[in-house]
Amino acid sequence: MIICGLGPVGQLLALLLGDYGVRTLAIDREHEPYTLPRAAVIDDEVLRIFQSVGLDRAVLADAQVQPGASIITAAGRAVEVFRARSGRLGHPPLVSINQPAMERTMLAALDDRPTVEVRRGLALETVDRRADHVDVYARPVAGGRSALISARWLVGCDGANSAVRARLQIPFQGRTAPQRWIVVDALVDRPLARIPHPHFVGRAARPTVTLPMSPGRHRWEWMLHPGEDPAPHLEPAAVERAVAEWLEGERAEIERAVVYTFHTRMAARWRRGRVLLAGDAAHLMPPFAGQGFSSGARDAGNLAWKLADVLDGAPLSLIDSYERERRPHVAAMQRLARLIGGLVQSTRPWRVRARDGWLCAVEGTRVQRLLAENVKPLPTYCEGAFATRPARIPMRRTVGTLFPQTGRLDDRLGSTWSAVTIDETSRALLQDAGISVFDPGKDGEWLRARGLTWALLRPDRYVFACGGPDDVGSALQAWRRIAPPARVEVVG
Ligand SMILES: Cc1cc2nc3c(=O)[nH]c(=O)nc-3n(C[C@H](O)[C@H](O)[C@H](O)COP(=O)(O)OP(=O)(O)OC[C@H]3O[C@@H](n4cnc5c(N)ncnc54)[C@H](O)[C@@H]3O)c2cc1C
């Protein structure tokens, strides 16, 4: 297996593959990881993937849990638009991070994965797809001849300007926003009293986003109007003036001020033969929903076990489910990011008035609570590698849903296929089939509330099949069709 690109998505994929025992070579053209912060927040789904590689606590040690996010109206009123409802997945739903620190944690952990080799300073040049393998030519950036590397699969985790995507001639469809944003990161001596959690500041003259990052850090983002020259805003004195407005005695040392352009793009396809795309190489979205890296992390969590199973002899078609599952979910996140971006970036007075009027009207009502608690798309898939097609309405889904985790259930489940059950007949049937079966503890409530007694979980904890004792046989038949033969043989 080759991973091209060792940004955070490539790192996480390498860790997951390492845990599955897959021999993996990860290359990156840079000699050192990128040291400036980009991603500001991650969510509970991503922390659960970190948990699966033993890193959730290490990542959280350098992070700050956020209670939610608010929009500040033009008149200065804070209205909650996202409430972080904890519990369902066992981790806090909104957590500010420092991306370089998170990457250091992952890179250090990669040293303990004996099947993963990292080679830096090596840039992918060409990709030659063969029937049963991929040939890659990569050249040392310090100079020298390019060398051939062959592998059964190649995953392009090489970011927005992906060389892998370009070599496959896959269009990167979508749009680039006309507005650019100035992003300022600062080291602060204590949390800012005025901005205890992420704020979208809906000023018509200069829309602003500001939020606490990992402990000791804070970020501001200011929108530039289409065509506006960023240079005067990047002057150190101008940055300090703009930041000072938000301080109440705290000290802020500016770390960097840069201009970012935001894109909403998706690769026309995420796979050609034995070459796949993941993370920013496959999709980009504006950062308003904090879902760029988080979506890439989900790609890694979705793809790693499928590649491991296929390398173990599972049918190749399992890999097709990667894009079928992930693409609609990423599209939903892009829509959310654009929706929030649209609210924040309003500059026409009538739009600002309409937005603020609506926010003030729903404030304190059930509508606001419902919206704030359910604004983010659920961790469910509408189709893919499941025993039966998931229900059409996401709220109704059982099959296709990420199984809950109120405590640390996943630590008991391990990293392979497993089942949870609250009835003895199903337990015996599943165990006879060689599947590790667990008592779900408190999470048995999820089964009971839906009239179910067991769920067969994929290695990424999505429900493959569920039902009562009479449904176990058909679920096992479906499972045998996609599981690696070695595992099915063991289980008879
Ligand atoms: C201002 C801003 C705010 C953001 N906020 C958030 C947020 O709050 N939450 C969130 O989840 N996301 C956020 N993001 C997005 C997030 O930072 C990215 O989605 C994430 O870094 C992408 O990771 P990646 O591994 O896919 O790509 P990258 O981090 O771009 O890594 C790609 C790697 O591939 C390597 N590479 C490229 N070409 C080659 C080649 N030819 N050969 C070998 N190696 C190559 C590069 O050197 C690089 O190391 C934000 C982004 C920005 C800019």
With a 6 Å cutoff on the Cβ, whether 11 touches ligand 1 is no
With a 6 Å cutoff on the Cβ, whether 404 touches ligand 1 is no
Angstrom distance (rounded) from CA 444 to CA 422: 7
CA of 39 from ligand 1 middle (Å) equals 8
CA of 188 from ligand 1 middle (Å) equals 25
CA of 314 from ligand 1 middle (Å) equals 31
pLDDT at 142: 95
With a 6 Å cutoff on the Cβ, whether 291 touches ligand 1 is yes
CA of 47 from ligand 1 middle (Å) equals 18
CA of 202 from ligand 1 middle (Å) equals 27
Beta-ladder partners of 222 = 182, 208
CATH 3.50.90.10 assigned to domain 2-53+99-173+264-342? The reply is no
Query: Is 350 buried (19+), middle (13-18) or exposed (0-12) by CB count in 10 A?
Result: exposed
With a 6 Å cutoff on the Cβ, whether 337 touches ligand 1 is no
pLDDT at 490: 45
pLDDT at 185: 97
With a 6 Å cutoff on the Cβ, whether 25 touches ligand 1 is no
Angstrom distance (rounded) from CA 126 to CA 150: 12
Ligand 1, atom 17, lies closest to the CA of 39
Q: What size, in residues, is the chain?
A: 492
With a 6 Å cutoff on the Cβ, whether 293 touches ligand 1 is yes
With a 6 Å cutoff on the Cβ, whether 4 touches ligand 1 is yes
Sheet bearing 271-272, strands edge to edge: 116-120, 24-28, 2-4, 154-156, 275-277, 271-272
With a 6 Å cutoff on the Cβ, whether 280 touches ligand 1 is yes
DSSP state of 435: -
CA of 186 from ligand 1 middle (Å) equals 20
With a 6 Å cutoff on the Cβ, whether 294 touches ligand 1 is yes
Of the candidates 323, 258, 334, 351, which has an alpha carbon nearest to the alpha carbon of residue 292?
334
pLDDT at 374: 83
With a 6 Å cutoff on the Cβ, whether 58 touches ligand 1 is no
With a 6 Å cutoff on the Cβ, whether 440 touches ligand 1 is no
With a 6 Å cutoff on the Cβ, whether 40 touches ligand 1 is yes
Residues near 43 by beta carbon (within 8 Å), at least 6 away in sequence? 93, 94, 95, 290, 291, 294, 376
- pTM (global) more than 0.85: yes
Mutate which of 31, 280, 334 for ligand 1 pocket (most atoms within 8 A of beta carbon): 280
CA of 298 from ligand 1 middle (Å) equals 14
CA of 280 from ligand 1 middle (Å) equals 6
Nearest atom in ligand 1 to 221's CA: 1
Residues near 218 by beta carbon (within 8 Å), at least 6 away in sequence? 185, 186, 188, 192, 195, 210, 211, 212, 252
Residues near 51 by beta carbon (within 8 Å), at least 6 away in sequence? 90, 91, 408, 410, 411
pLDDT at 375: 84
Angstrom distance (rounded) from CA 158 to CA 276: 11
Q: Which residues of the chain have pLDDT under 50?
A: 489-492
Nearest atom in ligand 1 to 293's CA: 11
Q: Where are the domains of the chain?
A: 2-53+99-173+264-342, 184-262, 394-491
With a 6 Å cutoff on the Cβ, whether 198 touches ligand 1 is no
Nearest atom in ligand 1 to 122's CA: 43
Angstrom distance (rounded) from CA 403 to CA 457: 8
Nearest atom in ligand 1 to 281's CA: 26
CA of 159 from ligand 1 middle (Å) equals 5
Domain spanning 394-491, CATH architecture: 3-Layer(aba) Sandwich (3.40)
Angstrom distance (rounded) from CA 172 to CA 148: 27
Ranges of beta strands (E only) in 297-345 are none
With a 6 Å cutoff on the Cβ, whether 183 touches ligand 1 is yes
With a 6 Å cutoff on the Cβ, whether 37 touches ligand 1 is no
CA of 32 from ligand 1 middle (Å) equals 14
Nearest atom in ligand 1 to 27's CA: 43
With a 6 Å cutoff on the Cβ, whether 260 touches ligand 1 is yes
CA of 264 from ligand 1 middle (Å) equals 14
Ligand 1, atom 49, lies closest to the CA of 7
419 and 435 Cβ atoms separated by less than 8 Å: yes
Phi, psi of 351 (to 5 degrees): -70, -40
With a 6 Å cutoff on the Cβ, whether 286 touches ligand 1 is no
With a 6 Å cutoff on the Cβ, whether 384 touches ligand 1 is no
Which tens digit of pLDDT belongs to each residue from 416-452? Answer: 999 999 999 999 999 999 999 999 999 999 999 999 9
